Structure 1
Amino acid sequence: IEIEGKEPKPAELKELIEEAKEHGVKVIFVAPQFPTKAANLVAKETGSKVISIDQLPENWLDEMKKTAEIFAKSL
């Protein structure tokens, strides 16, 4: 999770947590190439789970199939 390319500030995180609760967010998707600290915190506070999806895989087709399966199971 980032805001304008940066880690969210505490007040922004609080707002994200409130929005996630309000909208019933169950899953937060993250890319392994980026920090997951904020996503893990939001997930902890909302009871959701964090799932990593590689956007820059070596084998694009296999990763897209895997991503489709993850979406189907998670949503």
Structure 2
Amino acid sequence: MRTGKPPPKTKLDPEVFVIGGGLAEGGGLLFERLRHSYQKYAYLPCKDTKIIKAGLGNDAGIWGTAKLILDKGE
């Protein structure tokens, strides 16, 4: 994370960051470090933002493609 500017969260204000793809396969240690760094550098009102693993993991692209194909058939 950059420390020279406010983190993007202060402008976007999401309730959660969802990490997916190969990065999400980094496991608990990765998420622990992400949360620690975010807590350290986040703007005070934004420190409660959750960081979670995407539910579909590496399969999100496959599911999205299947949905597009099925939608075209309608």
Calculate the TM-score normalised by the size of structure 2: 0.40
Rg (Cα) greater in structure: 2
Calculate the TM-score normalised by the size of structure 1: 0.40
